[in-house]
Chain A
């Protein structure tokens, strides 16, 4: 039966990987993901998993070997962070283009320069258009649950896409929390077996993977990839429903926290949502109609549902833990605002926060809500994009 344990995000993810028992894991150490690889190594060394663990010489090779293994019909995983994900970048697109259901936890960490080992989302935001599904996790429990669900989502016949499960570096990866782990057998029966349609090891039906398309075919294959993204939403919800039966924990495309009757809304990903919920409760006590939308599925972007949830709000702030450097805000803001274009228009503002592991506190988030209150009252946005917590 499931058990409640005190566990870090990395430990929870490693435990999920042990329970998933992938055929192949190819990974390379990088802070703050390293623990996942180390813990998983002990599972391999102790015979707790059947996995062929490929200790590659770089993240580029980690993703390449994972691609090879997945194309060979194996259930294949890797894990990385930051520069490691950046080094994989070329191969991320190839994993998606070849329609390989790889699952990879990514421990969010800032990208260089300057080099920084702490949390922000610039790494996974850089991979948001690669064709990977991205699930974001507020805490260790969600990272664990998302990883297990990711296997089912990735391998679904209508999807066949790689999935990245993101959690915040150090804040979640190294922070000790209470989480409930499922029984090994429950996980194994929930994920089932991978049944690939085509495999490199099917030597009697030799297939060519990774052929060259000229202008006469590339567009069709990319269109196919775009179509697959449209199936993701439904599959994520279906898998969540089944997961709820097993775990008792329910998941959606996003979490709407006291949002229904809210007038002022904040949109955020990952661990900052925990802090923001506290702020919402506090402001509600003070009479402010504050609410929160925490995105779980960021890629593909569930724009219709998000618009429906945010329509009618008076003012919305999107909190981005990555800067788009476009001078028009962070990536989540750009997507949410674009989605909201057709909705009866609330005023929208963006806050870039927490880069390189900079803490965000309840006072700052409360400040965001007070800004929204002013905007709602005056109807005026004076600063569409604000850097929150930077020294001016």
Chain B
């Protein structure tokens, strides 16, 4: 079944418009709304969790009290994390520029991990 379930007819869905799969929006991508991408510098991060408590999209990934990356599948690029980070370890970069960088990196034979991605240690997005 697709995430949207649109191939289903009225006989195949739960009664009363109920959604029985809690947190199913996890499957819905809002990452493609982004104009700017938060790029996280793992070196500078103090794991203070300020970005985490202010993120509207539950997109700061944390494991055992430490930030481990950004969920780019859902992050909409609002920039709150970068604006609020006391360590200034998140940089908002234009997606189009990053794409250009990546394309250039690929042309230069640098493989999938372009310059920008190497810098942003934790691209753990896309759960």
Contacts and interface: CB of A to CB of B under 8 A. Distances in A.
Nearest to A224: B10
Contact of B10 (A210, A211, A227): A227
A-side interface mostly: loop
A374 interface: no
Minimum-distance CB pairs A-B, first 10 = A99-B16, A220-B10, A208-B19, A206-B22, A223-B10, A221-B17, A98-B16, A224-B10, A99-B15, A211-B19
A217 B17 CA distance: 9
A160 B16 contact: yes
Interface residues of A, number: 24
Interface string A83-98: 0000000000000011
A207 interface: yes
Nearest to A218: B17
A205 interface: yes
A224 B14 CA distance: 9
Nearest to A209: B18
B53 to A, nearest CB: 23
22 contacts: A97-B17, A100-B16, A160-B15, A198-B14, A198-B18, A205-B20, A206-B22, A207-B20, A208-B18, A208-B19, A213-B17, A217-B13, A217-B17, A220-B8, A220-B13, A221-B10, A221-B13, A221-B17, A224-B11, A224-B13, A224-B15, A228-B15
Interface string A188-212: 0000000001100000011111110
Given A220-B10, A221-B10, A227-B10, A207 B18 contact: yes
Given A97-B17, A160-B15, A221-B17, A208 B10 contact: no
Given A216-B6, A221-B10, A211 B22 contact: no
Interface of A: 97-100, 160, 197-198, 205-211, 213, 216-217, 219-221, 223-224, 227-228
Interface of B: 4, 6, 8-11, 13-20, 22
A198 B17 contact: no
A206 B24 CA distance: 11
B105 to A, nearest CB: 39
Which of A207, A211, A213 is packed against the most chain B CB atoms within 10 Å?
Answer: A207
A207 B6 contact: no
B18 to A, nearest CB: 5
A184 to B, nearest CB: 32
Contacts of A100: 16
Contacts of B13: 217, 220-221, 224
B10 to A, nearest CB: 4
B10 A207 contact: no
Nearest to B8: A220
Contacts of B10: 219-221, 223-224, 227
Contacts of A208: 18-19, 22
B84 to A, nearest CB: 30
A272 to B, nearest CB: 36
Contacts of B16: 97-100, 160, 209, 221
B25 to A, nearest CB: 10
A71 B126 CA distance: 35
Contacts of B9: 220
B39 to A, nearest CB: 34
Nearest to B15: A99
A211 B15 contact: no
B20 to A, nearest CB: 5
Contacts of B20: 198, 205, 207
A224 B16 CA distance: 8
A220 B18 CA distance: 12
A100 B8 CA distance: 23
B24 to A, nearest CB: 9
Nearest to A213: B17
Contacts of A211: 17-19
B17 A207 contact: no
